[in-house]
């Protein structure tokens, strides 16, 4: 069956992996990537699909109503999958404004387009961070879809606001929506300001590895392809108006992750540098994925030991991709965030 899907934020980490997954899985689908190409968006990531006749790239801001409406008029999409966001907690602590603009107003603009032109499915890619954090000493507690929203950072608050808007548009205007809340992803094309790619890039270039606080905060890591497959299942078979949590029962402390990467690359632990903690640092995230497993049959396929080996190998094989990033404006960001930390 033919479908046209607008994927916003498709030049970023997860969106690009989703585009590759969809084009290789559905031969008759047309995928349109709408992306503003902020610092986190990279057109070179999409190079392999640029000439595919089933793919179109449009540079635009999801907050730009005229541009979004024009695209709806041109393409009459069946579905929207909204990945576009400011996604980095540390940046949101430095400067919240753009998070509110893109993550909230951008979502509202896309939903208004769905309201005006109609849509078969609007999917909002949300995050487990909307639930806040969990205590370190209660491994029995996990985030379920019924866990109350309780955000910590400007980033997570903006994502939670977007989720609430999506449900408001569903209830008020009847837009057929779904929302997914995933745990931390890792894998190819992950922007090297986040923990795993930053650690790999720094270790490969013999730079210090900054670990916030005592390194004992816990994240629940999922290989990006498993996230993409989950979204594929939700947009096709998920129930309208529902939230689905996505996570692979893979809780690790940050220091475990950093030491694991050093071990794979064969670099010494003396590269580790404990630095001032993140403000308001969430202690632990842990997802209960029972609902998506029971309803849609989703299960993670890539175990962490395999996924992290594959990821390190990808960064070794694709040095040009991340070296271009870390040699650009990223240098100023790095100096500002880690210079005197
Ligand atoms: P990313 O920062 O790598 O990519 C974001 C993309 O959105 C970039 O291509 C950027 O250019 C684009 N973008 C930003 N502002 C835009 C705007 N105003 N208009 C159009 N495009 C814009 O992010 P990511 O890590 O791939 O995350 C994608 C989505 O998944 C986000 O919504 C994030 O909240 C969510 N999420 C991420 C993770 C994770 O571990 N990375 C986990 C759960 C959920
Ligand atoms: O849980 C899902 C979220 O995961 C997504 O919604 C976000 O978009 C995504 O960025 C990610 O947020 P985190 O804040 O968990 O990811 P980050 O890679 O920034 O940090 C992971 C952990 O590592 C966190 O506890 C902070 C710590 N850290 C991070 C950096 C960049 C360090 O110790 N040192 C660092 O230099």
Q: Cα dihedral sign for 276, 331, 309, 267?
A: negative
Q: What is the pLDDT of residue 333?
A: 85
The best mutation among 6, 9, 250 to test binding of ligand 1, ranked by most ligand atoms within 8 Å of the C-beta, falls on 9
Q: Average pLDDT of 104-126?
A: 98
Active site residue 129: yes
121 lines ligand 2 (CB under 6 A): no
Q: What is the pLDDT of residue 330?
A: 83
Q: Are 68 and 107 in contact (CB under 8 A)?
A: no
Return the closest-CA partner of residue 292 out of 238, 251, 337.
238
Alpha carbon of 173 to those of 111, 116, 176, 179, 260: distances in Å? 10, 10, 9, 16, 48
157 lines ligand 1 (CB under 6 A): no
Q: Has residue 203 got a pLDDT over 90? A: yes
Q: Average pLDDT of 173-202?
A: 98
Q: Average pLDDT of 245-267?
A: 98
Q: Has residue 290 got a pLDDT over 90? A: yes
Half-sphere exposure of 214 (CA within 13 A, CB side): 5
Q: What is the pLDDT of residues 143-170, one digit of tens each?
A: 999 999 999 999 999 999 999 999 999 9
Q: Average pLDDT of 130-148?
A: 98
Q: What is the pLDDT of residue 318?
A: 97
Q: Average pLDDT of 97-122?
A: 98
Q: What is the pLDDT of residue 106?
A: 98
E strand residue ranges, 205-314 = 209-212, 218-220, 222-223, 242-246, 251-253, 272-275
Confidence of residue 101 (pLDDT cuts 50, 70, 90): very high
Q: Has residue 282 got a pLDDT over 90? A: yes
Q: What is the pLDDT of residue 68?
A: 98
- Distance from the CA of 64 to the center of ligand 2, in angstroms? 29
Radius of gyration of the chain (CA): 19
Q: Has residue 329 got a pLDDT over 90? A: no
Q: Are 111 and 84 in contact (CB under 8 A)?
A: no
Domains of the chain: 4-338 (3.40.50.720)
Residue 125 CA to residue 315 CA, distance in Å, equals 25
Q: Has residue 335 got a pLDDT over 90? A: no
Q: Average pLDDT of 65-76?
A: 98
Q: What is the pLDDT of residues 302-314, one digit of tens each?
A: 999 999 999 999 9
Residue 151 CA to residue 127 CA, distance in Å, equals 11
Active site residue 232: no
Please spell the DSSP secondary structure of 290-301, one letter per residue.
HHHHHHH-----
157 lines ligand 2 (CB under 6 A): no
Q: Which residues pair with 126 in a beta bridge?
A: 181
Confidence of residue 1 (pLDDT cuts 50, 70, 90): confident
């Amino acid at each position: 069956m033919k479908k046209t899907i607008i994927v916003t934020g498709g030049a970023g980490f997860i969106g690009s992996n989703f585009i590759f997954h969809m084009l290789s899985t559905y031969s008759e689908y047309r995928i349109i990537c709408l992306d503003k190409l902020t610092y986190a968006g990279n057109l070179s990531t999409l190079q392999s699909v640029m000439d595919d006749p089933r793919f179109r790239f449009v540079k635009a801001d999801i907050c730009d109503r005229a541009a979004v409406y024009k695209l709806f008029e041109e393409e009459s999409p069946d579905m929207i999958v909204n990945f576009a966001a400011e996604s980095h907690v540390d940046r949101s602590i430095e400067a919240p404004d753009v998070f509110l603009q893109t993550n909230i107003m951008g979502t509202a603009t896309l939903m208004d387009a769905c309201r005006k032109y109609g849509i078969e499915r609007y999917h909002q890619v949300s995050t487990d961070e909307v639930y806040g954090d969990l205590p370190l000493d209660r491994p029995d507690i996990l985030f379920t879809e019924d866990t109350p929203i309780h955000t910590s950072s400007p980033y997570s608050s903006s994502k939670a606001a977007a989720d609430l808007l999506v449900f408001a548009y569903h209830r008020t205007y009847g837009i057929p929506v779904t929302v997914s809340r995933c745990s931390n992803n890792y894998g190819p094309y992950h922007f090297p300001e986040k923990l795993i790619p930053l650690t790999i890039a720094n270790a490969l270039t013999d730079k210090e590895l900054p670990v916030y606080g005592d390194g004992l905060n816990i994240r629940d890591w999922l290989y990006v392809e498993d996230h993409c497959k989950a979204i594929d299942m939700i947009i096709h078979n998920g129930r309208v108006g529902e939230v689905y949590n996505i996570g692979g029962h893979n809780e690790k402390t940050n220091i475990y992750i950093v030491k694991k990467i050093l071990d794979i690359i064969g670099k010494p632990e003396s590269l580790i540098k404990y630095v001032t903690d993140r403000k308001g640092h969430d202690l632990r995230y842990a997802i209960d994925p029972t609902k998506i497993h029971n309803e849609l049959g989703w299960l993670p396929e890539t175990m962490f030991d395999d996924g992290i080996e594959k990821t390190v190998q990808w960064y070794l094989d694709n040095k040009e991709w991340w070296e271009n990033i870390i040699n650009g404006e990223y240098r100023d960001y790095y100096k500002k965030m880690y210079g005197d930390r």
